[in-house]
């Protein structure tokens, strides 16, 4: 019985291979989209897939004549599974590009696969700084269309100084993304005279922050938060219950108040300020049209995950318009991609030579208001200041920045923590 | 038993000629099968359930990655040494863990092994300078053995298959040996074995160390198959997976772990490329197994055969019957 089923399996597999290895003509663009469709990040995956698909559907599944074959694979939020699925996409489905990933660990796992197989990998979400900084040379087939973790933090530090924030306590998830977001903020904030007086690193997915909140130094004037997972909802609420809000200003990473969680958050986050390269409340015609279409189709306001993948599709389309819908080759496509400038819902985007976007960074304040003609009062990230065309190195010298150690748990050191 | 061997041989011959994805998947199945078999030695034969086997896999994997990334060691023939070191590290860690864990049994043993493996996870996650923290480590590429490039998936498959076959053989010889029989005796009735004069603690300790060594071996092979190592490999989920593979396939059968690894990985990695509701199938499979095949697939098959009077299936040793122990007792009198 077992022998039979195994034989059946082999026959099935061979048939499947024959089916899948159908030769592609030059005008087909095969894109492998890797997302954690199941597991704790499933909602992010849905937002991302919807974003990309929306652009694709708007253009009848074609990028300037190239028929797009869009294959989604489930990474289950595990780096090892992401590698297996990426190899499946490359070797079996013969995709020309890999797109996606969410966690930095997935980005780090996929980048070497792209190098090894000479297939483009576009990180449409993973933000880990070093992928487009110290490790950029290792991954010649890699580009990023989203942001690097410390990119919005740099201008935010300056904004904080200019807006009367002096002493800050940080509560950020204990992993590379948290270190980079906080590190970038600390660097610019302390250069202009601010002080980080306490840094706390609770574990990812923590649901109860009470032990941390009770130790917040009372002489601080602001709390900088970066919770991940379950804590995204509880941390602001617990800060309010403890009386920290509204006594102190609530600031944080752009992801803390992203539209992805904003509808579930309560009035406690009104007034919270955070930086990001996108806000759904960005009042430009391009973004208004994007938000309205997305909300009509999927019943919710687009998050930055949606916009990032929508824009990634838009960029591919722009490249294909230059080649007339023909596949130019991996290296050539990447070269074309990093030279383009597009007007995305988030604003103008171009690339630096390490293949990371140069884009506007918006300082956003959570407000309850009506916008774009919607009937109800809702929470929106109102843009209160725009820093145009920010690169991942901000105003710093690039060579010098690369020589510095990456932002970690202990770097920059906390000078004012006693 | 011959059926089983023929099937495994068929896997070795057929797999490289199927699809590239299936080849990679079967390679992973064989590696996790080594891990599952090593756990079966404890769960199925000795009767102690460990929830910390991810630690051995993780240590082997991290050793491989750290040697390759930081010292460029193990990229050619010295890969053989890495395999040796990985197994030794697994064994040494098990020797240390065993000192703590084997003071307890049952659920308490389970909890202690869980706690110890979480320590390894903590190290992997927090020792940034060595392990790369949450981002993990990327290996520079699979070893090149003279003219043979293990970067070729088929070549690496054969290497993995060879180690799998050796592990299966070694564990089979072990469980068939007098030592293996006394492990089964401990599983059936530890007190009686102790009264018979066996040092049951030492037996369990040695079984635990051997199990750790095979776990370490699986880790080395695993690091090279996925080309990266991250704390995700050391999480509780990996330990639970290994346990489920054994339970699904049939504890105390060795080959049950292989079958279990095959079923779990096939449903999770292959079915997930076809349908989004693969999790229900996997979950349903677990539930059905518990309800209808409480001894696992191979375990139940064996019982059926025994009931029908046919010889036992698989490579498993005949379970020790209580009459035999009684005879032994008689001998002491």
Domain assignment of residue A392, yes or no: yes
pLDDT at B310: 55
pLDDT tens figures, A345-404: 999 999 998 999 999 999 999 999 999 989 999 999 999 999 999 999 998 998 888 898
A121: tokens are 């990998």
| A395 and A263 within one domain | yes
Domain assignment of residue A2, yes or no: no
pLDDT at A23: 37
Nearest CA in chain B to A3: B7
Chain A CB contacts of B142 below 8 Å: none
| A214 and A112 within one domain | no
Q: Where are the alpha helices (DSSP H) in chain B?
A: 2-14, 20-40, 53-71, 79-101, 107-126, 128-131, 153-176, 178-188, 190-195, 200-226, 236-249, 255-265, 271-274, 278-292, 296-307, 322-332
Q: Are A276 and A258 in contact (CB under 8 A)?
A: yes
Q: What is the ipTM of this complex?
A: 0.84
What are the residues facing A226 on neighbouring strands? A172
| A214 and A158 within one domain | yes
Cβ neighbours, 10 Å, residue B160:
24
The total number of structural domains in chain A stands at: 2
Strands A347-351 and A357-369, how do they pair? antiparallel
B141:A2 CB<8 A:
no
Domain assignment of residue A310, yes or no: yes
| A162 and A30 within one domain | no
| A33 and A101 within one domain | yes
Indicate which CATH number applies to the domain containing A170.
Answer: 3.40.50.2300
pLDDT at B202: 92
A105:B232 CB<8 A:
yes
Domain assignment of residue A329, yes or no: yes
Cβ neighbours, 10 Å, residue B2:
6
| A142 and A45 within one domain | yes
This prediction has a pTM of: 0.85
Q: How far is CA B4 from the centre of its chain?
A: 18
| A260 and A397 within one domain | yes
* Structure letter (DSSP) for residue A45: H
Domains of chain B: 2-332 (1.10.3470)
Domain assignment of residue A1, yes or no: no
- Distances in Å between the Cα of A27 and the Cα atoms of A69, A89, A337, B72, B276 are 11, 18, 18, 42, 29
Range of the domain at A301: 26-149+294-359
Domain assignment of residue A248, yes or no: yes
**CA pair distance A28, A62, nearest whole angstrom:** 9
What are the residues facing B2 on neighbouring strands? none
| A342 and A250 within one domain | no
B25:A84 CB<8 A:
yes
Domain assignment of residue A84, yes or no: yes
Q: Are A20 and A280 in contact (CB under 8 A)?
A: no
A111:B24 CB<8 A:
no
| A44 and A56 within one domain | yes
Section A336-341 average pLDDT: 91
pLDDT tens figures, A8-20: 444 444 444 444 4
Give the A:B interface size as CB pairs under 8 Å.
106
| A139 and A157 within one domain | no
Domain assignment of residue A136, yes or no: yes
Q: Are A282 and A381 in contact (CB under 8 A)?
A: no
Question: 3-state SS of B79-105?
Answer: HHHHHHHHHHHHHHHHHHHHHHHCCCC
pLDDT tens figures, A79-105: 999 999 999 999 989 999 999 999 888
Q: Tell me the pLDDT of chain B (333 aa) as tens digits.
A: 788 888 888 888 888 888 889 999 999 999 999 999 999 999 989 888 889 899 999 999 999 999 998 888 888 888 899 999 999 999 999 999 999 888 888 888 889 999 999 999 999 988 888 888 888 888 888 888 888 888 888 999 999 999 999 999 999 999 999 999 999 988 988 889 888 888 889 999 999 999 999 999 999 999 999 889 998 888 888 898 899 999 998 888 889 899 999 999 998 888 888 888 888 888 898 888 888 888 888 888 888 888 876 554 444 444 444 444 343 433 333
Chain A CB contacts of B28 below 8 Å: 84
| A251 and A398 within one domain | yes
| A32 and A60 within one domain | yes
B20:A92 CB<8 A:
yes
B6 Cβ neighbours under 8 A, 6+ residues apart: A3
Chain A CB contacts of B18 below 8 Å: 10, 13-14, 17
pLDDT tens figures, B84-126: 999 999 999 999 999 988 888 888 888 999 999 999 999 998 8
């Amino acid at each position: 019985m077992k022998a039979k089923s195994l034989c059946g399996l082999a026959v099935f597999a061979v048939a499947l291979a024959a089916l899948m290895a159908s030769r592609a003509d030059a005008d087909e663009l095969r894109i492998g989209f890797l997302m954690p469709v199941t597991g704790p990040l499933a909602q992010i995956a849905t937002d991302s897939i919807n974003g990309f698909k929306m652009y694709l559907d708007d253009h009848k599944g074609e990028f300037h004549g190239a028929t797009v074959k869009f294959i989604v694979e489930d990474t289950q939020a595990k780096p090892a599974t992401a590698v297996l699925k990426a190899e499946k996409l490359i070797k079996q489905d013969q995709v020309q590009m890999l797109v996606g990933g969410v966690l930095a660990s997935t980005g780090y796992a996929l980048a070497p696969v792209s190098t090894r197989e000479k297939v483009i990998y576009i990180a449409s979400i993973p933000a880990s700084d070093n992928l487009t900084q110290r490790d950029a040379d290792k991954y010649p087939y890699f580009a990023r269309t989203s942001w690097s973790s410390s990119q919005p933090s740099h201008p935010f530090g300056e904004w904080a100084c200019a807006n009367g924030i002096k002493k800050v306590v940080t509560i950020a998830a204990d992993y590379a993304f948290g270190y980079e977001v906080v590190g970038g903020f600390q660097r610019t904030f302390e250069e202009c005279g601010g002080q980080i007086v306490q840094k706390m690193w609770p574990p990812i997915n923590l649901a109860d922050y009470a032990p941390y909140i009770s130790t917040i130094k009372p002489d601080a004037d602001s709390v900088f938060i970066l919770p991940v997972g379950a804590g995204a909802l509880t941390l602001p609420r617990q800060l309010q219950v403890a009386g920290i809000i509204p006594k102190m200003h609530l600031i944080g990473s752009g992801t803390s108040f992203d539209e992805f969680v904003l509808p579930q958050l309560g009035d406690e986050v009104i007034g919270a300020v955070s930086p990001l390269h996108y806000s759904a409340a960005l009042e430009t015609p391009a973004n208004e049209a994007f938000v309205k279409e997305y909300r009509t189709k999927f019943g919710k306001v687009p998050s930055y995950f949606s916009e990032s993948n929508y824009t990634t599709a838009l960029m591919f389309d722009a490249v294909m318009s230059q080649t007339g819908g023909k596949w130019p080759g991996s290296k050539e496509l990447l070269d074309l991609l990093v030279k383009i400038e597009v007007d995305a819902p988030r604003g103008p985007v171009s690339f630096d030579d390490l293949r990371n976007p140069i884009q506007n960074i918006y300082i956003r304040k959570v407000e309850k208001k009506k916008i774009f003609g919607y009937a109800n009062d809702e929470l929106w990230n109102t843009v209160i200041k725009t820093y145009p065309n920010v690169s991942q190195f901000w105003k710093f010298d690039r060579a010098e920045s690369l020589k510095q150690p990456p932002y970690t748990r202990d770097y920059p050191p906390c000078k004012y923590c006693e | 038993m011959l059926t089983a061997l023929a099937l495994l041989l068929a896997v070795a011959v057929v797999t490289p000629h199927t699809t590239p994805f299936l080849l990679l998947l079967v390679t992973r199945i064989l590696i996790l099968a080594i891990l599952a078999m090593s756990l079966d030695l404890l769960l199925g034969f000795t009767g102690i359930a460990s929830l910390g086997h991810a630690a051995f896999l993780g240590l082997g994997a991290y050793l491989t990655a750290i040697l390759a990334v930081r010292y460029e060691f193990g990229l050619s023939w010295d890969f053989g040494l890495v395999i040796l070191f990985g197994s030794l590290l697994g064994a040494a860690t098990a020797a240390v863990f065993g000192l703590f864990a084997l003071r307890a049994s049952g659920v308490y043993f389970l909890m202690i092994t869980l706690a110890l493996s979480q320590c390894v996870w903590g190290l992997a996650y927090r020792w940034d300078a060595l392990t790369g923290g949450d981002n993990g480590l990327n290996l520079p590429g699979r070893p090149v053995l003279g003219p043979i490039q293990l970067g070729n998936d088929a070549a690496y498959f054969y290497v993995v298959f060879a180690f799998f076959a050796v592990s299966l053989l070694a564990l089979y010889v072990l469980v068939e040996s007098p030592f293996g029989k006394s492990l089964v005796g401990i599983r059936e009735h530890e007190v009686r074995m102790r009264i018979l004069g066996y040092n049951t603690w030492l037996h369990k300790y040695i079984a635990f160390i051997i199990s750790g060594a095979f776990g370490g071996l699986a880790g080395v092979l695993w690091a090279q198959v996925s080309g990266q190592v991250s704390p995700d490999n050391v999480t509780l989920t990996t330990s639970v997976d290994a346990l489920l593979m054994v339970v699904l396939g049939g504890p105390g059968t060795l080959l049950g772990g292989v079958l279990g690894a095959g079923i779990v990985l096939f449903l999770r990695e292959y079915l997930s490329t076809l349908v989004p509701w693969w999790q229900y199938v996997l979950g349903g499979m677990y539930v059905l197994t518990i309800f209808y095949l409480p001894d696992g697939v191979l375990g139940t098959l064996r019982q059926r055969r025994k009931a029908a009077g046919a010889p036992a299936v698989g490579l498993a040793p005949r379970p020790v019957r209580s009459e035999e122990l009684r005879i032994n007792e008689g001998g002491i009198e």
